[in-house]
Amino acid sequence: MDLTLDRRTHGRWAVVEVKGELDLYTAPSFRESVLDAGDAEDPQVIVDFRGLGFIDSSGLGAIVACLKHIRERGGDFALVAPEGSGLRRLMDLTGLDRVLTLYPSIDDISQD
């Protein structure tokens, strides 16, 4: 399965919606899309992973690279990963749940 990336806004957030597989082959386009979405002066980016089917270590690396880049620019970076999802468990196992803001759904995000 390929990766589909859609962009929209949700309040002050730029949202990148991910559907498909985030792996060695699709990680570069994911990273480019997220960094483009965070190209504002005060970047506020959330990645919606509810449609994620698979992620490997390259995908995790791309998430960390995006987090680092956006935070270096003084922005906020967060993920939508439903409770009990594979991605949520992976974030818990790797400890990334302690450095990333995770929301169970897009409706739980403050639109301030």
Q: Is residue 111 scored above 70 in pLDDT? A: no
Question: How far, in Å, CA of 67 to CA of 75, rounded?
Answer: 9
Structure tokens at 90: 């992976």
Domains and CATH numbers, the chain: 3-105 (3.30.750.24)
Q: List the end-to-end C-alpha distance of the chain, in Å, as a whole number.
A: 35
The residue type at 8: R
DSSP 52-109: EEEE-HHHHHHHHHHHHHHHHTT-EEEEE--TT-HHHHHHHHHTGGGTSEEESSGGGS
Order of strands, sheet of 13-22, starting from the edge strand that comes earlier in the sequence: 3-10, 13-22, 44-55, 76-80, 101-103
Which tens digits make up the pLDDT trace of 3-46? 999 999 998 899 999 999 999 999 999 999 999 998 888 899 99
pTM: 0.92
pLDDT at 109 over 90: no
